[in-house]
Amino acid sequence: MKVSLFITCLADVFFPEVGKSVVEVLERQGVEVDFPQAQTCCGQPAYNSGYQREAKEAAKQMIKAFASSQYVVAPSGSCAAMIRHYYPRLFEQEPEWRNQAEELAKKTYEFSEFLVRVLGAAELDACYPATAAYHQSCHMCRGLGIQEEPLKLLQSVEGLEQKELPYAQDCCGFGGTFASKMSSISEAMVDEKIRHLEETEASLLIGSDMGCLMNIAGRLQRTGKSIRAMHVAEVLAKGMSK
């Protein structure tokens, strides 16, 4: 089985270790991973800001970059949701591109979704002693309907004690450009998320979207909190290497 890694902008620029972890976990499952160099942003920032033409250009580049891929896996529910749900809509009036957008949408998966639903790898040989809480990101939870898959994977990690995060499904306040356009509201939302996180007494926050984790981890750091943040792929990769 061959998988093409869609690294996503945030992982590519700020969190390359997340991409490396995804590759490590997939390869340990016997999957061959490649990295199409022509990939770029999925176009979601432009799409969400109303720039349809610019979003289409990014989408066309992505469609061409992954045209020969068997599967496409991303460490982000948000970017995977953009491809799966919004690419076909972008090209509703362009049948040729719409067909190609639908083909890409069918073979694109979020990381934990691919492991559980495609590979059936809910039980991983991993050990990572820590007390952790899991944050459900908006697009992954409500856009893709993925909630249980990352939790199943984390439940298989020896030594990892999972605490239930109150209101785990509530937005952290990131929301892409929302965090910069509505910064005061965003700040209040992330502070509420951190209050709930502290109620769990967890020392580690785990998530599946680096936008959320960057937002929450940044606020944790600025307010002097000692809680760490990690992508689920990082927890699995580190746990499997022990």
Question: Vertex 8, ends 105 and 97: CA angle to 5°?
Answer: 35
User: What residues are paired with 204 via a beta bridge?
Assistant: 132, 228
pTM over 0.85, yes/no: yes
pLDDT tens series, the chain, 242 aa: 999 999 999 999 999 999 999 999 999 999 999 999 999 999 999 999 999 999 999 999 999 999 999 999 999 999 999 999 999 999 999 999 999 999 999 999 999 999 999 999 877 889 999 999 999 999 999 889 999 999 999 999 999 999 999 998 899 999 878 888 899 999 999 999 999 999 999 999 999 999 999 999 999 999 999 999 999 999 999 999 86
User: In the prediction, which pLDDT does 133 show?
Assistant: 97
Looking at residue 242, what is its pLDDT? 66
Residue pair 78/9 in contact by the 8 Å Cβ criterion: no
What pLDDT does 179 receive? 86
